Amino acid sequence: MLPAISGEGTAHIIASGKLALAIATDVALVTGMRFDQFARVFGGAHADGSLGAPEMVVPPLPHATTGDKQGRRPHRREELATFSTSPMTPVFILQTWLLGILSAGLIAGVVYAAREWQHRSWIWDPVHQQSIFSPSLGWNEDTAILVAAVALALIVLFGAAIIKTIAKISLKSAGGEARPQPPAPAAIHKIKRPDGSILHVECFGPEDGTPIILTHGWTLNGNAWKYFLRLMAGRFRLIVWDEPGLGRSTRPANRDYSLENLAGDLQAVLALAKGRPAVLLGHSIGGMITLTFSRLFPQELGGRVMALVLTHTTPTDPVRTTKGAALYTVLEKPVLVPLMYLTIALSPLFWLLNWLSYLNGSAHLSVMRGSFAGTETWEQVEFAARFQLHASPAVVARGMLGMMRYDASGVLHRINVPTLVVAGDRDTTTMPQASDWMEARIPNCQRVTLGPARHLGHMEHNEFYCTSVRLFVEECGREASSVPASSDGRLL
């Protein structure tokens, strides 16, 4: 028989979790609502329902894919057009705040319920004329409040473990995939830059191998290439660097995180190829840095740079090529930019909230929804979720401000080296239309579409991705060796 709980007791039980549950509902709405209705209200949506910036959309082109053929039933995560995005572009600032508020709300719920239970456990003893601590444990509303406090506390501290247990039932490889173990670096370099930053660079693989310079996505660091290193280090000379303020690279003294400054850093790293024609491979902002490099240093293309690989990236402000661009473009200046500066000012607080989001599992859920497409392993989710623990929120926000001022669309038709564009068929962070745009305008361009894949498709499908890059680089190497060079080393 269920206990009789008074209206007042029920109100306390509900109130104990009200903040957390209300905020959780808001987050669920923001990460799970269909967006097409909103896009039509704010304008900019296309007749076919695509939501990229109007000037960036081109007709679909035939692509190679690792996924199912056209006409398949959409994957469960594809059926919901959501606000979810990967933590590598400016719109993620909204999720940063929502997840932070959710984490704070969960703690508030624990404190409220625990305080209410403690208050109820102190009773007045008329014999001794004093208050005594006498909790009433049993099938009653006092115990229900205590249970609510304990349940919320378990979510706060062990939510990620609970989610892991559930996720391993549905995700690929229930037994798990071992965390990637790349080889030890063959060389480590520190590059001092004019802005005061010191870039950390590691080199892997044979010294006489074709150099591939790997530029990671924002909020990540060089460790993000571990899957790539494991499969490719025995064949190529892989040069991996941490962007300033991330990983083991220090922050620039002038706080300049513009794409132009980062492109200058890439040019400095290129010197480690020691004159051998290199391939520039960039993921997300890494692709943006590569395109900015191509705009600022066109003389390097065909000389020290023999090819480009642009992975899950965009040629312009990523706010305009993300899912929901119609809305986010409207919110960019009045909402996103102020939130960036507020995040910079409250960076220590957000670093703490990031840890809480990681512990309660909301960070893992965000990564699963925004970065993967359903064929990932839990180990990949955990691997990706941990990066936000090491990235300073102030650095992340400054880099995102730099992305908002980025545009390299004008350089596409001037790229004179072979280029491989890699897209994810369900990428909501940099929509496939952005890859369509680049493919249609870069003269010597090949295209691979990973599927099902979102913004970390190159990690989710790491073997296929590495194979595609390997074949492309080997083809470029054969072509370069058959073309005579001019006196300055440039290919004729």
Is 399 within a domain? no
Buried/exposed code over 220-238 (b: 16+ C-beta within 10 A; e: otherwise): bbbbbbbbbbbbbbebbbb
Clarify whether residues 37 and 108 are in a common domain: yes
Clarify whether residues 310 and 345 are in a common domain: no
Contacts of 114 (CB under 8 A, 6+ apart): 146, 149, 153
**End-of-domain residue from the set 365, 392, 419:** 392
Is 65 within a domain? no
| CATH code, domain with 310 | 3.40.50.1820
User: What per-residue confidence (pLDDT) applies to 87?
Assistant: 67
pLDDT tens digit sequence for 28-85: 433 333 333 323 323 333 333 333 333 333 333 333 344 433 333 334 444 333 445 5
Mean model confidence pLDDT for the chain: 83
pLDDT at 14 over 80: no
pLDDT at 162 over 80: yes
Q: pLDDT above 70 covers what percent of the chain?
A: 77
User: What per-residue confidence (pLDDT) applies to 29?
Assistant: 37
Clarify whether residues 24 and 130 are in a common domain: yes
The answer to whether 270 touches 278, Cβ cutoff 8 Å, is yes
Clarify whether residues 301 and 379 are in a common domain: no
**End-of-domain residue from the set 363, 392, 421:** 392
Clarify whether residues 373 and 429 are in a common domain: no
Clarify whether residues 359 and 442 are in a common domain: no
- The owner of tokens 């512990």 is 359
Clarify whether residues 19 and 100 are in a common domain: yes
User: What per-residue confidence (pLDDT) applies to 36?
Assistant: 34
The answer to whether 401 touches 257, Cβ cutoff 8 Å, is yes
The answer to whether 277 touches 306, Cβ cutoff 8 Å, is yes
- Number of residues written out for the chain: 492
Which of 224, 261, 222 shows the shortest CA–CA distance to 242? Answer: 222
Is 103 within a domain? yes
Strand partners, 279: 212, 307
Domain span at residue 14 reads: 9-44+73-170+326-392
pLDDT at 12 over 90: no
The answer to whether 270 touches 237, Cβ cutoff 8 Å, is no
Instruction: Mean pLDDT check: name the lowest of 58-67, 198-207, 223-232, 313-322.
Output: 58-67
User: What per-residue confidence (pLDDT) applies to 235?
Assistant: 95
Task: Read off the pLDDT of each residue in 14-34 and give the average, rounded to a whole number.
Answer: 41
Task: Read off the pLDDT of each residue in 215-228 and give the average, rounded to a whole number.
Answer: 97
**End-of-domain residue from the set 392, 415, 441:** 392
Clarify whether residues 13 and 127 are in a common domain: yes
pLDDT tens digit sequence for 378-411: 999 999 999 999 999 999 999 999 999 999 999 9
CA 310/CA 421 separation, integer angstroms: 5
Most confident of 75-84, 107-116, 177-186: 107-116
pLDDT at 336 over 60: yes
The residue that leads in pLDDT, 316 or 183, is 316
Is 344 within a domain? yes
Q: Which amino acid is at 395?
A: V
> What is the total count of domains within the chain?
2
477-to-53, 84, 276 alpha-carbon distances in Å: 36, 39, 11
Q: Which amino acid is at 285?
A: I
Clarify whether residues 208 and 290 are in a common domain: yes
Is 191 within a domain? yes
Task: Read off the pLDDT of each residue in 225-241 and give the average, rounded to a whole number.
Answer: 96
Q: What HEC string does the chain produce? A: CCCCCCHHHHHHHHHHCHHHHHHHHHHHHHHHCCCHHHHHHHCCCCCCCCCCCHHHCCCCCCCEECCCCCCCCCCCCCCCCCCCCCCCCCCHHHHHHHHHHHHHHHHHHHHHHHHHHHHHHEEEECCCCEEEECCCCCCCHHHHHHHHHHHHHHHHHHHHHHHHHHHHHHCCCCCCCCCCCCCCCCEEEEEECCCCCEEEEEEECCCCCCEEEEECCCCCCHHHHHHHHHHHCCCCEEEEECCCCCCCCCCCCCCCCCHHHHHHHHHHHHHHHCCCCEEEEEECHHHHHHHHHHHHCHHHECCCEEEEEEECCCCECHHHHCCCHHHHHHHHHHHHHHHHHHHHHCHHHHHHHHHHHHHHCHHHHHHHHHHCCCCCCHHHHHHHHCHHHHCCHHHHHHHHHHHHCCECHHHHHHCCCCEEEEEECCCCCCCHHHHHHHHHHCCCEEEEEECCCCCCHHHHCHHHHHHHHHHHHHHHHHHHHHCCECCCCCEC
Clarify whether residues 89 and 204 are in a common domain: no
pLDDT at 259 over 60: yes
User: What per-residue confidence (pLDDT) applies to 94?
Assistant: 85
Which of 473, 419, 478 shows the shortest CA–CA distance to 447? Answer: 419
Q: Which amino acid is at 9?
A: G
Instruction: Mean pLDDT check: name the lowest of 40-49, 193-202, 212-221.
Output: 40-49
Is 351 within a domain? yes
Is 383 within a domain? yes
pLDDT tens digit sequence for 452-478: 999 999 999 999 999 999 999 999 988
Clarify whether residues 266 and 384 are in a common domain: no
Task: Read off the pLDDT of each residue in 316-329 and give the average, rounded to a whole number.
Answer: 95
User: What per-residue confidence (pLDDT) applies to 483?
Assistant: 57
pTM exceeding the 0.85 threshold for the entire prediction: no
Is 1 within a domain? no
Clarify whether residues 13 and 138 are in a common domain: yes
Instruction: Mean pLDDT check: name the lowest of 29-38, 109-118, 422-431.
Output: 29-38
